[in-house]
Amino acid sequence: MTQTKLSVPDMTCGHCKASIESALRSLGGVDCEVDLDEREVVVRYDAAQRPLAGIVAAIEAQGFDVAAADGAPVPRAEG
């Protein structure tokens, strides 16, 4: 399993947290911990089955900007 910490700076409320959790859990094979206070999401996933770009796209589809917590670039889905 791969673990990645993502920054979601626009996440400000319980509804935001629930929206992200629901989107990620619907992907299958993805486990997440959403920290509203830190505005971060820790995702654990099998990178061979679920690329990070798809996880980022699922969060962005909920209307949030996503960045790597360490400032590194995050992969984006093509298309």
20-42 tens-digit pLDDT: 999 999 998 899 999 999 999 99
Domains and their CATH numbers in the chain: 2-68 (3.30.70.100)
How far apart, in whole angstroms, are the C-alpha atoms of residue 58 and residue 60? 5
Report the first-to-last Cα separation within the chain, whole angstroms. Answer: 26
User: What mean pLDDT is reported for the chain?
Assistant: 92
**Structure tokens of 18?**
């629930």
The pLDDT assigned to 79 comes to: 55
Quickly state the pLDDT bin for 71 (edges 50, 70, 90).
confident
**How do beta strands 2-7 and 67-68 pair?**
antiparallel
Residue 31: helix, strand or coil by DSSP? strand
Residue 55: helix, strand or coil by DSSP? helix
What pTM value is reported for the model? Answer: 0.90
